[in-house]
Amino acid sequence: MANILLTGGSGFVGSAIREAAARRGLEIDAPPRSMLDILRPETLAPAMKGIDTVVHAAGAAHVFRRTPATDEWTRRTNVDGTRNVVAAARAAGVRRVVLVSSVAVYGDPRDVYAGSKVAAEHLAAEEAGAMTLTMLRLATVYGEGDPGNVHRLVRAIDRRRFVWIGRGENRKSLIHRDDVGAAVVAALAVPEAGVFDVSGPAVTMAEVVTTIARALGRRVLQIPVGSGAARSAAHVLTLLTMRNRRAAALERTIAKWLADDVYDGSPFCARFGFTPAVALAEGIAREVAWVRSGATASRRSSESSGCTPPSRDRAR
């Protein structure tokens, strides 16, 4: 597993991959943004020289305040950036690309992020040629450094701004950042092409909320807002505001909260000899400690793509 190049090495997922590799004594080249910009192909060719495997983890995600500018940035970073990386790898004679993707590809293709990940996967497959292409679709990643929805939920519960919607019986697939890093390192040891979901065991939303509240030492008021009423109210608000962007976002958020998002990671575990090691209670406790430490402002959002995002929103 020599001569490995990692894009996005300073981001949430990329840093987890670097740390997991270091624990295994595996050397990975992860150039900083100033040297490797996935939107500038001329910076990619020099970095690919002598490389055997490329792990592409750079990308845009978790852009919560959406605008036409951030939508375009997301599309360019995820779609054009992926095409540039895979094309440069093929031109340099790289033998294998491991693409860090997302289970968002199973979502609504009209969503900018989901659509960008679908397009990125298709372009990677087209550009790969004879290279071995392994695509890893990550479930929701959480843990220290989390810029995403679990972090937002932790903050809402901590600030007592959380309101139950539904019964919390719907299930979600989560995976801790350390397990993501270990999964990618495990994949590097087995040069097999294919598409694999990478996830920990599914848990209910009630389990997630109660685990976070327990770690924070907070009580969550159990006066749930009915799911049907919440959906109806959000839909009416969207119509009354003539599909105002914020109202539409609220409607999507409620629908996402109430949905089952469960993905089977067992084929990946069986093929690559991987077992998730971080239980929900441990992972949440570690994320809560990180949030309480005041370190949440330390991550920026472009996952080392080299391009500057048009807003201060975060990305995976």
Domain contains 307: no
Domain contains 152: yes
Domain contains 316: no
CATH code, 230: 3.40.50.720
Rg (alpha carbons) of the chain, rounded to whole number:
19
Identify the band that residue 272 occupies on the pLDDT scale cut at 50, 70 and 90.
very high
Domain contains 264: yes
- For residue 69, give the H/E element and its range: helix 68-75
Average pLDDT over residues 172-180: 97
Q: Which of 101, 112, 103, 288 is nearest to 202 (CA)?
A: 103
Tokens at 190, concatenated: 């087995």
Strand order in the sheet with 53-56: 4-7, 53-56, 96-102, 132-138, 194-198
Q: What is the mean pLDDT of the chain?
A: 87
pLDDT of residue 301: 42
**For the ranges 1-10, 141-150, 207-216, which has the lowest average pLDDT?**
1-10
pLDDT of residue 304: 43
Average pLDDT over residues 197-218: 96
**Distant-in-sequence, close-in-space partners of 238: CB < 8 Å, separation ≥ 6:** 244, 247, 248, 250, 251
Domain contains 220: yes
CA–CA dist 213, 132 (Å, integer): 44
pLDDT of residue 5: 97
pLDDT of residue 112: 94
List for the chain the helix, strand, coil content (%; round to 5): 45, 15, 40
Average pLDDT over residues 163-192: 93
Instruction: Tell whether the model's pLDDT for residue 41 goes beyond 80.
Output: yes
Domain contains 194: yes
Average pLDDT over residues 176-183: 98
CA–CA dist 262, 219 (Å, integer): 27
Identify the band that residue 313 occupies on the pLDDT scale cut at 50, 70 and 90.
very low
Q: What is the pLDDT of residues 89-141, one digit of tens each?
A: 999 999 999 999 999 999 988 899 999 999 999 999 999 999 999 999 999 99
Q: Domains in the chain: how many in total?
A: 1
CA–CA dist 55, 75 (Å, integer): 20
Instruction: Tell whether the model's pLDDT for residue 310 goes beyond 80.
Output: no
Instruction: Tell whether the model's pLDDT for residue 315 goes beyond 50.
Output: no
pLDDT of residue 50: 95
Q: What is the pLDDT of residues 218-260, one digit of tens each?
A: 998 765 666 565 555 444 444 445 455 665 565 666 677 778 8
Strands (E), the chain: 4-7, 53-56, 96-102, 132-138, 140-142, 171-176, 194-198, 202-204
Domain contains 305: no
Domain contains 114: yes
**CA dihedral sign, ordered 152, 140, 280, 145:** negative
**For the ranges 67-71, 192-196, 212-216, which has the lowest average pLDDT?**
67-71
Instruction: Tell whether the model's pLDDT for residue 279 goes beyond 60.
Output: yes
Identify the band that residue 76 occupies on the pLDDT scale cut at 50, 70 and 90.
very high
Instruction: Tell whether the model's pLDDT for residue 16 goes beyond 50.
Output: yes
Range of the domain at 241: 4-298
pLDDT of residue 257: 72
CA–CA dist 171, 258 (Å, integer): 9
**For the ranges 1-5, 91-95, 189-193, 287-291, which has the lowest average pLDDT?**
1-5
What is the percentage of the chain residues whose pLDDT exceeds 70? 82
pLDDT of residue 246: 60
